[in-house]
């Protein structure tokens, strides 16, 4: 059996070691005679998995006792609605930084609940950049600022958190969660669908500052959409197998050396591809250099025909998942934590050979 060099944007590659461990435990989890997916979520096996995943997240991110960790369903897309449902009322304003398709969808949902002030947008340049630090000013009494730390489709990424001068900060980190150290003190909510960088689809990790959660006092929120419902208890059946897989990925992250290891690893991998893009005009990066993402690398070739040929030929070299999103076109290489160095080297070698053949 061969495994491809997997550049899928999401669901994305998982660490081979993690898949192998899951495989080895599939039929008989810790001698219980059943898989972890076939057991009660209130039994000791799953309760232990759940607690371990929380503890690992807390250690990796340095959460201390200031945050609640929730394992929710409905994807990051449900958070686009759940956040304003809990924190934004009619007549109130929330600030949104619009850096692409996902921020746009978050804005659309927030408008159902209150006023949205779009304090930054790079729409006119087809979202080829994120704001510089200090660019755009925030509404004085905004309930919160929402931004997308990594723009999966357009291949841009914030180098650091926006400076909000005291306005609570909410981040959709779906496509760069746990890819580098962050300053957790700056966040009030950070959330991520697991399927890009930390596990399979099915669980959304939502980390909420306790103090901020106290400010959520809207009434008439459906029970399951009220964040407070999920604090300290399993309100309903959690996505147990997805959480189990996330727990294995977290263990793998810890063993590798934590977030500083991955920051270095991811930066070096991305540099290999960007260096190849920047050599001459054969490949053209779509994002402004200062806004480039270390997770999703988006580039074009001279014509769409050439791009189609690039993709077809790449597939014959075992390079998979490279087609760009339809709103940008071209090529997108997603190289999250679990994408090994060898895969990136194989891609760069292919880029060199393809260019040499066409030049």
Ligand X SMILES: *Cc1c(COP(=O)(O)O)cnc(C)c1O
Q: 50, 95, 143, 172: which is the annotated catalytic residue?
A: 172
Structure tokens belonging to residue 322: 């490279």
Please indicate whether residue 188 is annotated as part of the active site: no
Q: Closest separation between CB of residue 247 and ligand X, Å?
A: 19
Half-sphere exposure of 264 (CA within 13 A, CB side): 5
Nearest to 321 by CA among 152, 96, 168: 152
Alpha carbon distance 91, 216 (integer Å): 16
Can residue 172 be called a binding residue for ligand X (CB under 6 A)? Answer: yes
Please indicate whether residue 172 is annotated as part of the active site: yes
Can residue 152 be called a binding residue for ligand X (CB under 6 A)? Answer: yes
Annotate each residue in 239-278 with x if it binds ligand X (CB under 6 A) or - if it does not, as one string. Answer: ----------------------------------------
How many distinct helices (H) and strands (E) make up the chain?
Answer: 9, 14
Alpha carbon distance 273, 19 (integer Å): 27
Check: CB of residue 296 under 8 Å from CB of residue 333: yes
Can residue 76 be called a binding residue for ligand X (CB under 6 A)? Answer: yes
Can residue 229 be called a binding residue for ligand X (CB under 6 A)? Answer: no
Alpha carbon distance 171, 148 (integer Å): 6
Q: Closest separation between CB of residue 8 and ligand X, Å?
A: 11
**Interface residue with ligand X, options 168, 193, 200, 239 (CB under 6 A):** 193
Q: 196, 252, 269, 323: which is the annotated catalytic residue?
A: 196
Q: Closest separation between CB of residue 196 and ligand X, Å?
A: 6
**Interface residue with ligand X, options 11, 75, 136, 258 (CB under 6 A):** 75
Strands 296-300 and 284-285: antiparallel
With CB under 6 A as the rule, give the number of residues binding ligand X.
12
Check: CB of residue 157 under 8 Å from CB of residue 149: yes
Nearest to 17 by CA among 295, 264, 343, 253: 253
Q: Closest separation between CB of residue 101 and ligand X, Å?
A: 8
Can residue 335 be called a binding residue for ligand X (CB under 6 A)? Answer: no
Check: CB of residue 331 under 8 Å from CB of residue 310: yes
Check: CB of residue 282 under 8 Å from CB of residue 301: yes
Annotate each residue in 6-45 with x if it binds ligand X (CB under 6 A) or - if it does not, as one string. Answer: ----x-----------------------------------
Q: What one-character DSSP code corresponds to residue 289?
A: G
Can residue 109 be called a binding residue for ligand X (CB under 6 A)? Answer: no
Q: Which stretch binds ligand X (CB under 6 A): 172-180, 231-239, 287-295, 299-307?
A: 172-180
Q: Closest separation between CB of residue 179 and ligand X, Å?
A: 12
Alpha carbon distance 34, 167 (integer Å): 48
Looking at the Cβ atoms of 148 and 247, the one nearer to ligand X is 148
Q: Closest separation between CB of residue 10 and ligand X, Å?
A: 5
Three-state secondary-structure class, residue 199: coil
Residue with tokens 């991998």: 269
Q: Closest separation between CB of residue 105 and ligand X, Å?
A: 7
Rounded to the nearest 5°, which phi and psi values hold at 6? -100, 110
Can residue 158 be called a binding residue for ligand X (CB under 6 A)? Answer: no
Q: Which stretch binds ligand X (CB under 6 A): 84-92, 120-128, 167-175, 287-295?
A: 167-175
Can residue 354 be called a binding residue for ligand X (CB under 6 A)? Answer: no
Please indicate whether residue 196 is annotated as part of the active site: yes
Return all residues near 201 (Cβ < 8 A) that are at least 6 apart: 11, 75, 193, 194, 195, 242
**Interface residue with ligand X, options 8, 98, 148, 266 (CB under 6 A):** 148
Nearest to 141 by CA among 113, 106, 114, 172: 114
State the catalytic residues: 102, 172, 196
Question: Where along the sequence are the contacts to ligand X (CB under 6 A)?
Answer: 10, 75-77, 102, 148, 152, 172, 174-175, 193, 196
């Amino acid at each position: 059996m061969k495994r491809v060099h997997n550049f899928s944007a999401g669901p994305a590659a998982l660490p081979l070691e993690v898949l192998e461990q899951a495989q080895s435990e599939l039929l008989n989890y810790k001698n219980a005679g059943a898989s972890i997916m076939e057991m009660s979520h209130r039994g000791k096996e799953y309760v232990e998995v759940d607690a371990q995943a929380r503890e690992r997240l807390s250690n990796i991110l340095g959460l201390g006792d200031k945050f609640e960790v929730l394992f929710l369903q409905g994807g990051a897309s449900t958070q686009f609605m759940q956040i304003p449902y809990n924190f934004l009322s009619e007549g109130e304003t929330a600030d949104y930084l619009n850096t692409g398709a996902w921020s746009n969808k978050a804005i659309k949902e927030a408008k159902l609940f209150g006023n949205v002030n779009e304090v930054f947008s790079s729409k006119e340049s087809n979202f080829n950049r994120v704001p510089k630090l200090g660019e755009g000013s925030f509404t004085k009494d905004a309930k919160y600022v929402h931004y997308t730390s990594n723009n999966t489709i357009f291949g841009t990424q914030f180098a650091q958190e926006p400076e909000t001068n005291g306005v609570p900060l909410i981040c959709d980190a779906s496509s760069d969660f746990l890819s580098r150290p962050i300053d957790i003190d700056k966040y009030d909510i950070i959330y991520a669908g697991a399927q890009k960088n930390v596990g399979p689809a099915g669980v959304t990790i939502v980390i909420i500052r306790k103090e901020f959660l106290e400010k959520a006092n809207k009434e008439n929120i459906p029970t399951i959409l009220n964040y407070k419902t999920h604090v300290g208890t399993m309100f309903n059946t959690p996505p147990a197998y997805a959480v189990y897989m996330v727990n294995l990925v977290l263990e793998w992250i810890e063993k590798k050396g934590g977030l500083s290891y991955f920051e270095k690893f991811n930066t070096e991998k991305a540099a290999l591809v960007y260096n190849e893009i920047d050599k001459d005009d054969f490949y053209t990066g779509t994002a402004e250099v200062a806004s480039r993402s270390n997770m999703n690398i988006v580039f074009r070739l001279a014509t769409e025909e050439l791009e189609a040929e690039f993709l077809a030929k790449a597939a014959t070299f075992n390079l998979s998942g490279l087609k760009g999103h339809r709103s940008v076109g071209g090529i997108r290489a997603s190289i999250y934590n679990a994408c090994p160095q060898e895969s990136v080297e194989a891609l760069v070698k292919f880029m060199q050979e393809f260019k040499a053949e066409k030049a």
